[in-house]
């Protein structure tokens, strides 16, 4: 009887001990799987390298990046073989002296009370009226045009002594420009002067390709200021 009692007491004590151990294990947070292995996640090893986030490579990120700093060597130089054209501002027209003395004026020959022209314009050109006469600035504007294309030969003062006057030829023979201040030239009507400027005669070019009608009439107005 005493032996059975001792055995039962021992069994109860063992069960109580197992229950106490199980309770202690639950309190520590460990979980035992059905296979008997612990499912508690292992702490990461300090020997394993941690992953570092990579930089953004999206277009938005690229746009947000700050601009590159300037090179310490200064701005980059363009290749020397690139074409480049340097121009300077054209100086204003100045009344500088012409390089040659005034050309002789043509001889005056009268016929029927009129000066004979060595270069005669058509009869219908004589009666054409200058529409620029009503413009008070006609002569001033005409002078600017004259200085662009006419002064090189006829000279700044119209005396036929421009810097190109020694190089003009007709049929291989030297032919200096006409002195526009002469009585022969000034005897032309405005219409006749306009016709001659428009059509030209070698070595003088036809200025219809250089000036429009209004501009040629303005030049005629300026030529009238050269009369002496």
Contact 218, 141 (CB under 8 A): yes
Tokens of 186: 């000034």
Does residue 117 surpass a pLDDT of 70?
yes
Report cis status (omega within 30 of 0) of the bond before 203.
yes
Does residue 22 surpass a pLDDT of 70?
no
Contact 185, 103 (CB under 8 A): no
- What is the structure's pLDDT at 46? 45
Contact 198, 141 (CB under 8 A): no
- What is the structure's pLDDT at 98? 85
- What is the structure's pLDDT at 62? 44
What are the distances in angstroms from CA 21 to CA 15, 28, 35, 37, 114? 10, 11, 19, 17, 148
- What is the structure's pLDDT at 168? 93
**Full-prediction pTM beyond 0.75?**
no
Mean pLDDT over residues 1-27, rounded?
A: 57
Tokens of 219: 């030049």
Instruction: Please write down the HEC assignment for all residues of 62-85.
Output: HHHCCCCCCCCCCCCCCCCCCCCC
Please state, as a whole number, how many other Cβ atoms lie within 10 Å of the Cβ of residue 4.
Answer: 8
Convert the pLDDT of each residue in 173-201 to its tens digit. Answer: 999 999 999 999 999 999 999 999 999 99
> 3-class SS at 215?
helix
Mean pLDDT over residues 122-140, rounded?
A: 96
Max mean pLDDT range (82-86, 97-101, 157-161) = 157-161
DSSP assignment letter at 38: B
- Which sequence spans correspond to the domains of the chain? 121-226
Classified by CATH at the fold level, domain 121-226 comes out as: Cytochrome Bc1 Complex; Chain D, domain 2 (1.10.760)
Convert the pLDDT of each residue in 47-72 to its tens digit. Answer: 444 444 444 444 444 444 444 444 45
Rounded to whole angstroms, the Cα distance separating 100 from 166 reads 9
């Amino acid at each position: 009887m005493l032996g059975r009692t001792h055995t039962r007491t021992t069994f109860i004590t063992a069960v109580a001990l197992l229950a106490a151990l199980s309770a202690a294990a639950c309190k520590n947070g460990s979980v035992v799987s059905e296979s008997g292995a612990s499912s508690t996640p292992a702490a990461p090893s300090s020997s394993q390298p941690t992953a570092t986030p990579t930089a953004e490579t999206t277009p938005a990120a690229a746009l947000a990046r700050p601009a590159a700093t300037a090179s310490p060597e200064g701005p980059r130089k363009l290749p020397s073989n690139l074409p480049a054209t340097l121009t300077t501002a054209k100086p204003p027209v100045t009344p500088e002296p012409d390089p040659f003395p005034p050309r002789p004026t043509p001889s005056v020959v009268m016929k029927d009370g009129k000066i004979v022209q060595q270069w005669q314009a058509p009869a219908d050109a004589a009666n054409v009226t200058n529409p620029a006469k009503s413009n008070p600035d006609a002569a001033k504007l005409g002078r600017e045009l004259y200085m662009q294309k006419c002064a090189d030969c006829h000279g700044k003062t119209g005396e036929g002594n421009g810097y190109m006057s020694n190089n003009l030829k007709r049929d291989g023979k030297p032919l200096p420009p006409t002195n526009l201040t002469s009585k022969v030239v000034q005897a032309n009507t405005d219409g006749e002067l306009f016709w001659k400027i428009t059509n030209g005669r070698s070595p003088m070019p036809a200025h219809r390709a250089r000036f429009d009608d209004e501009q040629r009439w303005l030049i005629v107005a300026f030529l009238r200021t050269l009369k002496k």
